[in-house]
Structure 1
Amino acid sequence: MSIAAWRRTGLFALVLLLPFGKVSLVPTTACAARADFVWRPASPKAGSLFRVATTARPVSATRASGTTAVTATVAGEPLHFRVVGDSAFAIAAVPIDSTAGITMAWQCSGDTSGSVRIPTTAGTYRLERLRVAPRFGAPPDSVTATRMRLEAERAAQVSRSAHDTPRQWSLPFLVPRTSRITSPFGGGRTFNGAVTSRHMGTDYAGAVGAPVRAANRGIVRLVDAFTLGGNVVYLDHGEGLVTAYLHLSTQLVAVGDTVSRGDTIGRVGATGRVTGPHLHFIARYGTITVDPAGLARQR
């Protein structure tokens, strides 16, 4: 399917009615054939996933055929193109603080490279005031701060390594719980009237012991008890996508397990920094945390 056909048919329904952005590669010795990059929406929202398409085939899909090869990154994260007809499509992500645009850079099979600035739109994320126990509102002591930094680095390593994992899923992503959302992604949080942060996940209601499902097929990369996240499970879905499940009362998987879409991987709890039992669900593309709602539209 060509990019033109993609635009006509809306292969990806989430962008069917949205304008698109486009840039063309100038023909060069390394990229002998003209190729287009197209992305939708034309100005993706901060904190969201979006789609990029190109008529220049990625290296992994073209070594055998010897056609033009192009690799690309968006906001510093590599794209994983999947060939459909005469075009290739990839998921990309916008950091939540990128309200003035992000850079897409590409490189041909030789030394030729280029870049374009993709405009972005600020998200309409609400402000939420939350009171927590005083011990969580105060700055952590040096030992706790070091532990939190090491925990964050371990989680970040899972996200970075997901770019090296082949795609594990073939079906749409599920929500981990069908219960009410108690706190959506992206809202500004003021803790005890003093500390402001972003809520970088989606909270689902649930009593202690309620089941938590794997959003899609993936490999368990991290199972541990974190200072803030409590009992956590991190799943690597491949091609840069990771989901995480926090504050669990029970973890039902082990590192190295491969889980299927919809498997019960844990149970709702109130571990870590919480005001009550719930599931905190995180989605990342590489190291960029995005609104998990966008996962359901990925193919």
Structure 2
Amino acid sequence: MNKLLLILLFCYYLNAVDKKINVENGTVYFLKTEKIVDGRVEIGKKSIAFIPYNDSEMLAIIPFDYKSSLGEVCAKVFSGAKELETLVFNVKKGKYKEENLTVSSKHVTLPSKELRKRTSKEYADAYKIYNKVTKKNYLKKKFALPMSTKTTSEYGNARVFNGKIARYHSGVDFRAKVGSIVKVVNDGKVVLVDNRYYAGGSVIVDHGYGVYSCYFHLSGFDVSVGDVVRRGEIIARSGKSGRVTGPHLHLSFKVHGVSVSPLHFMDKFNNLVLN
């Protein structure tokens, strides 16, 4: 019997479940509470701190990975060493589609040891950023889209490259000609500006407390690492760099190292949190 199942059985045995909540893989749950000292949510291997939100409330942003095991997972709310509440999340599969794409073979199977080494380093460097929790909250405003064009590919779609399922789509794509203006979705601090093999021209913005927005396949940059940016500020120009079938902007969100749907995150934050 695995550890997670034992924890769930323990929760039920004590009749200690205060709330059951349905969520979908690849989404987030915003948990609000009155102000508490050293407030946090422990779920799986993660300990998620509550963010000071307003004069009377705090907020914990709980992510559920696209690859999460479906079914029930137990979470506990603490103030210091004191347990306040037990929650059970019922993780269901989201309604995600499948996409067939044709790309250059060099971006499907890496042809050399050097490229494999490069992409491994880029991946590791990115997750060092995503797993860092900066204890500064920039999220004091509603989110805004990075551009006003239509979306062409949604988060969670299975990506079939040249007839083989390779991965799922970890963000949302916006239609954009090369050189189109890209705006930051909310206040934050720029923590990466680079040209990478798969993601191409990349900008990553830290919004504080484990929330990051990422802008990929860019053709040019208007910011540098360390810049503090404000919602709607121009940060880059769209392009067709990296593994792409054509020019567009790819926007993705990472929350405590977990890839989640950007549109779901922004919609829930704007409508449930700030109203």
TM-score (ref. length: structure 2): 0.84
1:254 aligns with 2:233: no
Asked whether the 8 Å contact 2:184–2:230 carries over to 1, the reply is yes
Asked whether the 8 Å contact 1:82–1:90 carries over to 2, the reply is no
For residues 43-76 of structure 1, the C-alpha deviation after alignment (integer angstroms, 9 at most, x for no partner) is: 11110121213457142xxxxxxxxxx4223452
Gap change, CA 1:80 and 1:224, over 3 Å in 2: same
Shift of 1:143: 1.6
**Identity over the aligned pairs, expressed in percent?**
26
Match of 1:135 in 2: 106
Match of 1:73 in 2: 42
Alignment of 1:86-165 (within 5 A): 88-98=58-68, 99-110=70-81, 116-161=87-132, 163-165=133-135
Supply the AA of the counterpart residue of 1:50. Y
Match of 2:236 in 1: 266
1:198 aligns with 2:168: yes
Q: 2: distance between equivalents of 1:101 and 1:153?
A: 30
Q: 1: distance between equivalents of 2:212 and 2:160?
A: 27
- The answer to which of 172-181 and 135-144 deviates more is 135-144
Shift of 1:195: 3.8
Q: 1: distance between equivalents of 2:111 and 2:88?
A: 39
**Greater strand percent: which structure?**
2
Q: 2: distance between equivalents of 1:253 and 1:193?
A: 38
Match of 1:18 in 2: none
Residue ranges of structure 1 left out of the alignment (5+ in a row):
1-22, 27-34, 60-69
Task: Give the secondary structure class of the aligned counterpart of 1:164.
Answer: coil
Supply the AA of the counterpart residue of 1:52. L
Q: What count of residue pairs does the alignment treat as equivalent? A: 255
Match of 1:20 in 2: none
Moved over 4 A (4+): 35-39, 83-87, 111-116
Considering only aligned residues, what root-mean-square deviation do their CA atoms show, in Å? 2.7
Residue ranges of structure 2 left out of the alignment (5+ in a row):
1-10
Gap change, CA 1:276 and 1:82, over 3 Å in 2: same
Gap change, CA 1:230 and 1:152, over 3 Å in 2: same
Q: 2: distance between equivalents of 1:250 and 1:83?
A: 35
Q: Which has the higher contact order (CA 8 A, sep 6+)?
A: 2
Shift of 1:117: 3.7
Shift of 1:177: 1.3
TM-score (ref. length: structure 1): 0.77
